[in-house]
Amino acid sequence: MDKLLINGGIRLDGEIRIAGAKNSALPILAATLLTQETVEVCNLPHLYDITTMLELLGCMGVQPIIDEKLNVEVNSSTIKHFNAPYELVKTMRASILVLGPLLARYGEAEVALPGGCAIGSRPVNLHINALEAMGAQIAVEDGYIKARTDGRLKGAHIFMDLVTVTGTENVMMAATLADGITTIENAAREPEVVDLANCLIKMGAKIKGHGTDTIVIEGVKDLHGCSYSVMPDRIETGTYLIAAAATRGYIKVKDTRPDILESVLSKLEQVGADIKVGDNWIELDMHNQRPKSVSLRTAPYPAFPTDMQAQFTALNTIARGTGSITETVFENRFMHVHEMNRMGASIQVEGNTVIVEGVDHLKGAPVMATDLRASASLIIAGLVSDSETSVDRIYHIDRGYECIEEKLQLLGAKIRRVPS
């Protein structure tokens, strides 16, 4: 297992390119199961979770072909099995995304109950209830969701009790091949849901309302192949912008989309960043000024994303003033706080809110990553600390950030990967 060693105190300065969005790529790869024809998926990020999803397709008998540019061609006509085993699902919750496509196309699916990051309960019952409303027979036994249907799924009116991204995606994919019309109310509005919908439409699906809280899908007989390029990763974009702001630096991120980052850019302007944007780039300059504290509250898109909360906590630790950060999406997402306090931060947890009082500087220390975004926040804390920080258990970070140490090195950071 590897760890990252960071020698902090250096202003980040430079340009980097943003990878494709993991949270778009995973459902789009699952959607390739909906057609017998070949689907080419481009701009895939080079990440452990993507490898896991390709392995999952492989264990079903589908053999993806990967070219030198990391574009993947998937033809699921060779599928032999309709089950997602626990060995793969336990490392990645997004494996549940194969449930809807398998059920819609083949009438059966067996998917292990998911694992992944330990950031609170993310109930799969919303997926199950929705698919049952569409006519599926589902039993949860021996740690597996076992689902089947007699004939095609049926269109249904589905109200999601909670806004769920993967739940919305699973039902939307299943509904593309169902008989009749499916309406999803209280649907997730995230850009990654819109990206999946756009890919499905390119495959011949009839979908309206994606990007709003009511999505309407009219089932079709078959979907066909296509070539589709995954959108840029907004969370990766935001993480590097925050890292530059925390270190009083300058950065230009390219191959990204400012239009889906408005809530994050607005907070960065509040910390004192000078921000300029173009069609596919964002420039941030702190002019060597110490950031100001910000207060924020996470909520589903288009509000402030939960996946950026830990990174802003790190920025607030060395900012001027005191900021409060309230987490409303996941109940167990402050596990980075204890590690930052060990580095000299002044953070108090009060229920689902953290109060961060900015200090002049942090001190490097050995810290341990507990989930994907917490890992990123500890790296930012390391970048602004006085001495060496070692971040252990970085397999979490490799699930969501492509070549993070190389990109930070391009910006001047002293960071390297070593065996732990």
Q: Is the pLDDT of residue 195 over 80?
A: yes
Kindly state the average pLDDT of the residues 303-322. 97
Q: How confident is the model at residue 115 (pLDDT cuts 50, 70, 90)?
A: low
Coil, helix or strand at residue 318? coil
CA count, 13 A, side-chain hemisphere, 57: 27
User: Which of the residue ranges 1-15, 85-99, 255-269, 315-329 would you say has the lowest mean pLDDT?
Assistant: 85-99
Residue 113: what pLDDT? 85
Residue 15: what pLDDT? 98
Helical segments of 221-293, H only: 234-246, 262-270
pTM of the full structure = 0.95
From 42, 117, 226, 403, active-site residue: 117
Residue 268: what pLDDT? 98
**Which residue, among 144, 378, 355, has the nearest Cα to 243 in the 3D structure?**
378
Q: Is the pLDDT of residue 185 over 90?
A: yes
Residue 114: what pLDDT? 74
Q: What is the pLDDT of residues 334-351, one digit of tens each?
A: 889 999 999 999 999 999
Residue 219: what pLDDT? 98
Kindly list the distances between the CA atom of residue 187 and the CA atoms of 78, 90, 165, 302, 407, in Å, as whole numbers in the listed order. 33, 26, 8, 13, 35
Residue 330: what pLDDT? 76
Q: What is the pLDDT of residues 270-291, one digit of tens each?
A: 999 999 999 999 999 999 999 9
Q: Is the pLDDT of residue 116 over 50?
A: no
Kindly state the average pLDDT of the residues 213-231. 98
Residue 122: what pLDDT? 53
Distant-in-sequence contacts of 198-201, Cβ < 8 A, 24+ apart:
198/228, 199/28, 199/31, 199/226, 199/228, 200/31, 200/34, 200/172, 200/173, 200/176
Coil, helix or strand at residue 135? coil
Q: Is the pLDDT of residue 414 over 70?
A: yes
Percent of the chain with pLDDT over 90: 87
Residue 316: what pLDDT? 98
Rounded to an integer, what is the distance from CA 297 to the centroid of its chain? Answer: 18
117 as an active site residue: the answer is yes
Residue 119: what pLDDT? 37
